[in-house]
Amino acid sequence: GDSVTQMEGPVTLSEEAFLTINCTYTATGYPSLFWYVQYPGEGLQLLLKATKADDKGSNKGFEATYRKETTSFHLEKGSVQVSDSAVYFCALSEGGNNRLAFGKGNQVVVIP
């Protein structure tokens, strides 16, 4: 079935550094792609989304581009802040029923 793979392990970086979190997907059709963020002690929140190939989702300085040729949706931010410390989940929609398949998530820790 449809699935999402995120890079292994936590990410630790200094404030103002460049952040990249890799996400690749496997799907039989043309899914919508999402990044959700989970701050400590909270539920997941939608960060950005893209619904078709070459779309770029963006929010709060984060960007991700739907790349059909490489089946990827990598998350990037040019200059991270301590407040960006959270767990980031890549996800895709399965069909038209709003059901999401999530990756395992990446813990991001930004050090002052």
Residues lying near other proteins in the complex (CB under 8 A) are found at 32, 34, 36, 41-46, 49, 51, 89, 93, 96-105
**CB closer to other proteins, 81 vs 107:** 107
Name the β-bridge partners of 46: 36
- Whole-angstrom distance, CA of residue 80 vs CA of residue 108: 10
Strands (E), 7-94: 11-14, 19-21, 23-26, 33-38, 44-50, 56-59, 62-65, 75-77, 86-93
Nearest to other proteins of 20, 45 (CB atom): 45
- Least separation, in Å, of the C-beta of 25 and other proteins? 15
Minimum CB–partner distance for residue 16 and other proteins (Å): 30
